[in-house]
Amino acid sequence: MATAAVPKVLKNFINGEWIESSSGRAFEDRNPANTDDLVGMFPSSTAEDVDAAVMAASEALKSWRLVPAPKRAEILYRAAETLVRRKEDLARDMTREMGKVLAETRGDVQEAIDMTYYMAGEGRRLAGQTTPSELRNKFAMSVRQPLGVCGMITPWNFPMAIPSWKIMPALVCGNTVVIKPAEDTPLSTYNLAQILSEAGLPGGVLNVVNGEGPEVGAPLVVHPKVSAVSFTGSSEVGRLVNEACAPNFRPCHLEMGGKNILLVLEDANLELAVESAVWAGFGTTGQRCTAASRVAVQKNVYKEFLDKFVERVKALRVGDGLDTATDMGPCINEKQLETVMKYVEIGKGEGARLATGGQRLTGGPYARGWFHEPTVFADCDPKMRIAQEEIFGPVVAVLEFDNFEQAIEIANGVVYGLSASIYTRDVNKAFAAMRDLHTGIAYVNAPTIGAEIHLPFGGTKRTGNGHREAGTAALDFYSEWKTLYIDYSDRLQRAQMDG
């Protein structure tokens, strides 16, 4: 079934049915490369819709938590098989609503495939611990238990991958889900929910409520029957989510901003470092939490690197992501484009040298989209705002450093701590960097993007609050431990008692 054939007017998914919002209103999902292209109309939901979804999830939890984990996993496996078959259609839908090039949206769908297969495999594991008891004739072990109804709020830059990172581990652990997708990219979550439903997921186990943050996200995170919340987005909104969860001690997973760096030492393979900096800085139009919006280069090779980097960036082809000749697509919406333009002016005002780019692209193929030139600022000071604040767009600040110790100081000198990479042939410096970079992810001779789903994903400082996506680390958030003691001695035994 080609997903492009879905009806123009789409609905919420509550209790296994596609239903209208109680508000009767809808919002538009338009192609950021061509705003004449209406991808779909989605319901502008309310707290009433959120309540209906949470109550459906709460009711479904009663039976879903009792389904054996291997059986829950079989549903995920069938969904993964469908994702594989429909990958191209799903990728094209995503490019239309999000803007990134087809090669990247295919990768986004592939992440959903990988995560779904991976968590399906966990359905036959979900391992706890068995340990010897300190007493005779006593058995001790721990098991994972579901949390309950999980509320999820997801961003627009990875509109199928990130929902899958949250939904799949939650489901295999026996939780039910209410998810609010980003207003800019609801179709990809719609497609994912449709596929899970076709795979046999019972009604009410997964619910999708569309709409704005204040009307949908806010009531979701404070709903009394929501047991845990997972949020990916800006640090500013993440703080509000955290504060909303705190009064009831509700478990809260936050995945937020980044100001990632690519360090280039004088002994690095410069050609590799340049290609990596281009990909890490301008892939997804720089709209990744892991984008390398800072590149710091050692003094001896600074000019050579910068010249090659700027030349390569100037050659990038900007346009519609559906055109296979395009290297970089549009910003997601007008507001994000305005943010990029604002930071370009900030960079100029701070005295950074504009090496290339700096302008909005208009006219011709850009007339109806939110396009901006790939932009490089050179000779930046580490304390400049463009080298400190997350821009989330195609703007890279290039800095110079004298020695390894200064490079690490620059790398750690921001409020975020998601991803960092170092390019060097010196194994001693590589291992020292892996130890000393205060980030959740570190790469050696690879860009700051490219995390794999079977390892933990997340960051330190203002990037996150200690929880992790992906791998078995995700299971740790979506389940809680229960410790079990079985005494078969047929007499009272007292642990931790003398004698």
In the predicted structure, residue 1 carries a pLDDT above the cut 80: no
- Do 238 and 270 have their domain in common? no
Compute the distance between CA of residue 241 and CA of residue 217 in angstroms, rounded to an integer.
9
Residue 452 lies in a domain: no
- Do 437 and 477 have their domain in common? no
In the predicted structure, residue 2 carries a pLDDT above the cut 60: no
- Do 10 and 132 have their domain in common? yes
Span 425-431, mean pLDDT?
98
Which structure tokens are listed for 160?
């199928």
Q: What is the DSSP letter of 372?
A: B
Residue 272 lies in a domain: yes
Instruction: Find, among 50, 234, 46, the residue nearest to 151 by Cα.
Output: 50
Helix (H, G, I), strand (E, B), or coil: what is residue 486? strand
Enzyme catalytic residues: 255, 289
Res 7: pLDDT: 47
Residue 449 lies in a domain: no
Compute the distance between CA of residue 58 and CA of residue 410 in angstroms, rounded to an integer.
48
Residue 456 lies in a domain: no
Q: What is the mean pLDDT of the chain?
A: 96
- Do 20 and 109 have their domain in common? yes
Residue 451 lies in a domain: no
- Do 230 and 103 have their domain in common? yes
Residue 459 lies in a domain: no
204: left (phi over 0), alpha (psi -120 to 50) or beta: left
- Do 7 and 67 have their domain in common? yes
Residue 204: give the domain boundaries. Answer: 3-256+464-483
State pLDDT tens for residues 258-277: 999 999 999 999 999 999 99
Domain of 79, CATH number, reads: 3.40.605.10
- Do 75 and 157 have their domain in common? yes
Helix (H, G, I), strand (E, B), or coil: what is residue 26? strand
Domain total of the chain? 2
- Do 243 and 351 have their domain in common? no
Phi–psi pair at 279, nearest 5 degrees: -65, -45
- Do 216 and 359 have their domain in common? no
Which structure tokens are listed for 350?
């701070």
Span 137-159, mean pLDDT?
97
Residue 450 lies in a domain: no
- Which alpha helices (H) appear in 67-101, and where do they start and end? 69-85, 87-98
Res 498: pLDDT: 61
Which structure tokens are listed for 189?
């979550």
- Do 418 and 405 have their domain in common? yes
- Do 224 and 283 have their domain in common? no
Domain of 290, CATH number, reads: 3.40.309.10
Residue 234 lies in a domain: yes
State pLDDT tens for residues 78-133: 999 999 999 999 999 999 999 999 999 999 999 999 999 999 999 999 999 999 99
- Do 149 and 129 have their domain in common? yes
